[in-house]
């Protein structure tokens, strides 16, 4: 896309149990990684949304899209543009309909990931608007499999870093066709699939380090899954 607007659609703040990133840290990172904005997609929480208006006032050149990454019974789902978090650990079909019923845009998060990703059956059938085909923490193989399913189903393809640490912000992102001036514009472009996914997958060594960090965090939570 020419002059595309780059938005990282999958970023976790300190309101996620596995991230310590402040919203201000995330915003300050944007000009260094060529992003126009981010979606804040904390695990099963929209607590960060209350601070987004203040963040927009301090950083008017950037867009901050409210979102949530909800844990369903089949794997994780991204929901954009909702004011509250969907009920967690419910059937994925039920959760998708909840998101649609509340005016949001549902997208499958990192499908084909061994932990927390939906499998092929759900990826092939779920009534979502988009699939995350470029996740900064997924393997290249998992991202390519997701891309193949999205292409076959003619769904939107989105990208997000899945950042939990500052260095990962912008590792993967979504390109929106201009003009994009507001978060409503972002949501409309998602619904109309005027998007494409770009960025980097995570190589084997990076996934090994990530797995070690995830294991430590899991132990710290008393082995309670997100």
Please state, rounded to an integer, the average pLDDT across all residues of the chain: 93
Torsion of CA 207, 13, 171, 121, to 10 degrees: 60
Structure token pair of residue 10: 């999958």
Domain boundaries, the chain: 5-220
Contact 201, 138 (CB under 8 A): yes
The answer, yes or no, to whether residue 29 has pLDDT greater than 90, is yes
Model confidence pLDDT, tens digit, residues 185-202: 999 999 999 999 999 998
The three-state secondary structure class of 173 is strand
**pLDDT at residue 223 tops 90:** no
Mean pLDDT of 88-109: 98
| Verdict on whether the full-model pTM lies above 0.75 | yes
**Quick one: pLDDT at residue 203?**
78
| Residue (of 172, 131, 224) closest to 35 by Cα position | 172
Give the model's confidence band at 127: pLDDT under 50 very low, under 70 low, under 90 confident, else very high: very high
In this prediction, what percent of the chain has a pLDDT beyond 70? 90
Could you identify the residue written with the tokens 């998101």? 99
Residue 24, pLDDT > 60, answer yes
Q: Look at the domain 5-220 and name its fold.
A: TIM Barrel (3.20.20)
Provide the pLDDT for residue 209: 72
9-13, 24-28, 138-142, 200-204: the lowest-pLDDT one: 200-204
Cα dist from 75 to 139, 196, 220, whole Å? 17, 23, 22
- pLDDT, average across residues 152-160: 98
pLDDT one-digit tens code per residue, 104-123: 999 999 999 988 999 999 99
């Amino acid at each position: 896309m020419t002059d595309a607007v780059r938005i990282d659609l999958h970023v976790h703040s300190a309101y996620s149990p596995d991230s310590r990133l402040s919203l201000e840290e995330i915003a300050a990172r944007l000009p260094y990684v060529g992003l126009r904005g981010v979606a804040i997609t904390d695990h099963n929480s929209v607590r960060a949304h209350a601070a987004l208006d203040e963040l927009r006032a301090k950083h008017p050149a950037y867009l901050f899209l409210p979102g949530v990454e909800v844990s369903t019974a089949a794997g994780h789902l991204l929901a954009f543009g909702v004011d509250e978090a969907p009920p967690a650990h419910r059937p994925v079909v039920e959760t998708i309909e909840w998101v649609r019923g509340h005016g949001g845009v549902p997208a499958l998060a990192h499908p084909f990931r061994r932990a927390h990703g939906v499998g092929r059956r759900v990826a092939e059938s779920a009534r979502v608007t988009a699939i995350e085909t470029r996740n900064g923490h997924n393997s290249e193989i998992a991202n390519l499999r997701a891309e193949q399913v999205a292409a076959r189903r003619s769904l939107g393809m989105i990208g997000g870093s899945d950042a939990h640490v500052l260095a990962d912000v912008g590792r993967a992102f979504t390109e929106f066709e201009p003009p994009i001036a507001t978060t409503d514009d972002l949501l409309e472009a998602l619904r109309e699939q005027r998007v494409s996914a770009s960025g980097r997958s995570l190589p084997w060594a990076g996934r090994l380090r990530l797995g070690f960090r995830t294991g430590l965090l899991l132990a710290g939570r008393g082995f309670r899954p997100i």
